[in-house]
Structures are given as structure tokens and as C-alpha cells.
Structure 1
Amino acid sequence: MTTPTTGHQHGFTLRKSTHTLPWTIAGIATILAIVLGILLIQQRSQPALAAEAGTKTEFKVHFEPAMAGEEKILEFVAETIAPDYGITIEPVGLQDPIQANQAVASGQFDATIFEHEWYMRQSAEAAGVELTPTVELYQWGFGLYSTRYTSVDELPQGSTLLLPNDVANQGQALWLLDREGLLGLDPSIEPRTAKIANVIENPRGFDLKEADLLAMPRMLDDVDVAIGYVSQFDAGKVSRDKGILFPEPPRTFASRLIFGSDFAQSADAQKLIEAFSDPRLQEYLKTTEDPLVQGVLTPVSED
């Protein structure tokens, strides 16, 4: 019996391809590998991006315990300003300036507010560390005290003037006397680095002596005038009415927010800089009635 034909005969048989499935799996595997690679790159980059953005929210900021007003400033910033910047500030006191700067340089403390740039340079060199000054914060009341006279005009010929014995603050004292016309400094030297040896004009024949800043209050009765910080005379129980001249200090002697140089350019440091640059700090210094701050730590001067 002959089987009837149902279509054209082409001389070959149709079969399902055996290559389609393996190539499909290979394609999927390739795509998955690419996706996983992208995810891995993103995961690896996240810590770097986080570090770039800054990860700290809690900061330890150093102050000098002998300067009670500095702690008050840190408390004000911590309570009033820092929360608006999403950070917290813990004031930490350490008296020794060498140890304090070493702690800042190593990152044990995040920053310090206890020194101006010129004292920082002197102290950092002594500590063998690298520090970077940033935003200006406040200025210390600085002037002439006497238990014998009530004005500079009363000072007799040959009066004994007691100056700080450290280079940075001696320069500030001599520059003050030069600006007030009481002494003349060698014009070839930078006045903020002046030493007693750089005095070239002394028309009233002042006897210039040196002492540690902290010793000045107890030495005041033994000299005609002592020149130093209001805060230290306050701490030594010397009445402010013994101050006979308080000129506005140059801006160059303003306190700075200071970091270890390894951290100064970080995003975390920028958080602190922004908080301490907030105008509410300068307004606080202008208006506070806190006796530990008023007249002791003043707003940053214009010049």
C-alpha cells in the first residue's frame, strides 16, 4: 500500500537546534558578571566616598583650663551652634601647651582654641609637631596693669615694665608699647616677633624686665607696670581697676581654630570650621555678661 504524500519532500529533516540553550546561558552569565562587577566597584567606592564626605559627628576641642572663658566659649558653641550643624562638641582641658598641641597633631583632640598663630608656631616647634591655623575666633584682653599708677601718663622716668618672657607674647607687648608711642622698635624687624633687644628708642628710660605670664599677678607689686592678659590677672585675683591701658589688640593675635596638619583639610575639619564661623559666636562675645568672658575674650578686631 502506498502512503500518500502530505507535502513537498526537501531531502532533509527538521530538528530543534542543540546550540540555542548553551549560548543563552553564556549570555546570561556574562551579563551577571558585568552587573556583579559594577556592584563590587560601587561597594568598594562607598567607604572612600564616605571618608570624602566626612564621617565624624562628635568632636573633642581643647581649651586651656587656666583660661576659664575659653571653656565658656566652647560650651556656648556646643549648646547653641553645633546642633544646627549636626555635630556635638566636647570641651577638653589640658594645661600643658606642648602636650595639648601633640594631642591635636596626633588626632587625640580634634582641634584647639587656646592660642594665636604666633604662639602656635613657637609651641609647635617646641613640641616637634605640625599644626595648621584656620578661622579666627576671639581675642584676649591684653594690657597694662599697675598697683602704683592709674594711667600711663603718670609713669615716671625709669619705670620698671614687666613683659612676658615667651617670644610670641613679648612681641605682642612690645608692639603695643610701640603703637602707643612709649617705645620705638627697629623698623627692619617684624613687630610681632620683636624682642627687648629690638627696642631702639626708649625716651622715658623704661627698665624692661621679663617674667612668665602666670607669675605676673604675684609680681605686680614689685614693678611699676606688668603687661599681659586680663584672664591671667583675673586668675591671680588682681582687680580689673588696676588695669591702666587696654588698647584693641591687632587681629593677627586673634585665637585660631587649630588642627593637626594631617587633618586640617578633611571634610570633618570643615564641619568644625563652619560651626565656629557662625556669626552667633561673635555676637555672643559682644553681648555676653558672663564675667569669665566679658572684657577677657573679645570679638575679633577689624585690623
Structure 2
Amino acid sequence: MTEQISPPAGGGLDIEIRKKKRWPWILGAVVVVAAIVFGIVYSQVSNRDKAFGTTLDVATWSTDIAAENLLQYIATDIAPDHGITINPVQIDNLIEINRAVDAGNVAGNFFEHQPFLNDAVAANGFELTLAAPTFTWDQATYSDRYRSWDQLPRGATIALRDDPAGQAIALLDLAQAGQITLKPGKDTVAGLPQLGDIATNPKNYQFVQVPIGQLARSLADVDAVVVHISDVYAAGLTEDQILARHPAPKGSEGGLVVSTKHLDDPNVVKLIDTFKDPRIAQFLQTTDNKLIRDTLGPIS
């Protein structure tokens, strides 16, 4: 069974309280609108044919703070040795962050894996390349009620991301854990399995599809959530809530995405070489940064 989870309706504050509390909502709205406008401005002005200088903007998605922290390390400790300066920027829109790269207004982005990029290219006609796979996302199943697969009961409700790429990786995690099996040809990232591709479901789990930004909040309403740890880390989910960890499926590595049209740009070549530097993998293995250590891993 699948269904869609929607956020609950708002409460009934009286008029006087609404007036007193109005300014935080206005401030929050201004911040959100500013972030969205920032992304749109980056994508609206096209610099497709303009060469990049030695200072290059690289965008992260504003909620992926682990990738943002890793990008900051690369900018500070790796990029200068390759003769470039990386300027990290945030774009709070999953379409506009790719559009900005396609338009040549940022040199690259650093937030997605190949399945997600494939969806973006197919939907929007972008000419983008995952030029330097750099890290893997740690995966986990979270639960507030159960501590092992054996405890998770028959008919348990499990939440997954509602986008095709995120859903595929969650299903591969469940298959790797022996909780479901997938149809032939659908048991790899390239197969992009969806809920209709489940071959067997021995414990009759009930699946719900949830937008990425609501997954952490949905945990209170379901028995388990399968997700990238970095997707819910900023929302406050903790190691104590993890029922099981999963290895990242092969083909789901994250890294630097650039415009295909700029692959031969000399400074973009330097940027790509920067993200291929072996010191990044060493840093991922040895860093004391708890945020990165708990959510990202090196590519083996």
C-alpha cells in the first residue's frame, strides 16, 4: 500500500496572539523568499558561453549541511594547491541549483548523485555531467519504536522519499537488509526501482511516500523511515534513533556536477581535478568533524 503524507492543518491561535507573533513569520518568509530569489537570479542570467576565471562559485543545496561542510574543507585545504579559489554558495531550490550550473552562472554544484541528476536532466533538458564523484552518503533506517528488524512487526508502516532517485536508494537499502526483494533488473541503482518493482514483501510492510523536507517530522507518525542520514541530520534525528545503517548502493556516489559545455574550460578542469584529489577520501576517513563523519563516507 502507498499513500501520501501531508503536513497537519494549523492550530487555532486567537487574533490577539496572531498579531503579537506575526513578525517572526514575516521574517521567516523574507528569508525563504530571499533564498528562492537568490537561486532564480543565478539561473535566469545565462553565461553558457563565458569562460570561468580562477575564482569559481560552487553551489550546495542549503539543507545539506554535511556536503556544505565538506565543500568548505575542499575550498580551504585542497583548491589552492590546484591554482583556483572556490567560493561556496547556497541555493535553496532543487531545480534552480542545476539550472544555475547549466546556465554557466556557477561553475558547479555539490549535492547530488547520478540518479537524481538523471531525473533533472530528463525533466529539464539540462546538459550536465557528474564530473567528479567524491563521497558516499551514509544510509539508515530510523525508528522511535523499534531497535532491530526482528522487532519491526508485520504490517509496519515505512516512510520513503517521494522522488524517484531517493525512493530507489531506500528500496535498495531494504533489499540489502533482506526485508524485501526487487524484480529482476530493478536491483541496482541503474534499474531505479520504485514501489511497483517490489517482488516480495514477506512482512507486508506498508509504504508511504513523503517529500524530503518532511521525512524527519514523519517519523512520529510511522514505524520507520529509510533515508540518507544527511537528509534528516539537521532536523535533529540522532544515532539513538537508528534501527539499522546501510552501505550506500553502488552508483549513488555524490560529487561535483558541471556543465557539459564547460568540460574543456581550463579552470573547470582544475576544479574537477580538485574534487578528485585523494586527500578528500583521507579526510573523510579521519576527520574529527562529527557532522561529516556521521553522515558521509569515502568512495572505496
Distance 1:68 1:188 in 2: 34
Is residue 63 of structure 1 aligned with residue 60 of structure 2? Answer: yes
SS in 2 for 1:138: strand
Q: 216-225 or 250-259, which moves further after superposition?
A: 250-259
Contact 1:98 1:126 in 2 (8 A): no
Distance 1:77 1:168 in 2: 26
Letter in 2 for 1:67: D
SS in 1 for 2:258: strand
Distance 1:228 1:91 in 2: 25
Paired position in structure 2 for 1:119: 116
Paired position in structure 2 for 1:252: 251
Letter in 2 for 1:96: N
Deviations 1:184-232 (A, max 9, x none): 1111335321010011101111111111121011110111110112122
Is residue 229 of structure 1 aligned with residue 220 of structure 2? Answer: no
Distance 2:261 2:105 in 1: 12
Deviation of 1:285 (Å): 0.8
Distance 2:264 2:186 in 1: 32
Contact 1:99 1:127 in 2 (8 A): no
Question: Quick one: structure 1 residues 163 and 276, their matched pair in 2 at CA, closer, same or farther if it must change by over 3 Å?
Answer: same
SS in 1 for 2:267: helix
Distance 2:234 2:225 in 1: 15
Paired position in structure 2 for 1:181: 178
Q: 148-157 or 291-300, which moves further after superposition?
A: 291-300
Paired position in structure 2 for 1:277: 276
Contact 1:98 1:124 in 2 (8 A): no
Query: What are the ranges of 5 or more consecutive residues in structure 1 without an aligned counterpart?
Result: 1-53
**TM-score, length of structure 2 as denominator length:** 0.79
Paired position in structure 1 for 2:136: 139
Once the two structures are superposed, the pairs formed by residues 26-175 of structure 1 within 5 Å of their partners are: 56-175=53-172
Letter in 1 for 2:110: I
Contact 2:138 2:229 in 1 (8 A): yes
Higher strand proportion (structure 1 or 2): 2
Letter in 2 for 1:164: R
Deviation of 1:115 (Å): 0.2
Contact 2:52 2:107 in 1 (8 A): no
Aligned length: 248
Question: Quick one: structure 1 residues 125 and 147, their matched pair in 2 at CA, closer, same or farther if it must change by over 3 Å?
Answer: same
SS in 1 for 2:185: coil
Deviation of 1:125 (Å): 2.7
Letter in 2 for 1:265: D
Deviations 1:93-130 (A, max 9, x none): 00101111010011100011110011011123333311
Distance 1:97 1:86 in 2: 30
Distance 2:282 2:171 in 1: 30
Query: What are the ranges of 5 or more consecutive residues in structure 2 without an aligned counterpart?
Result: 1-50
Contact 1:143 1:227 in 2 (8 A): yes
Paired position in structure 2 for 1:199: 198
SS in 1 for 2:257: strand
Distance 2:254 2:129 in 1: 12
Larger radius of gyration: 1
Deviations 1:155-185 (A, max 9, x none): 1111111111100111101111112211011
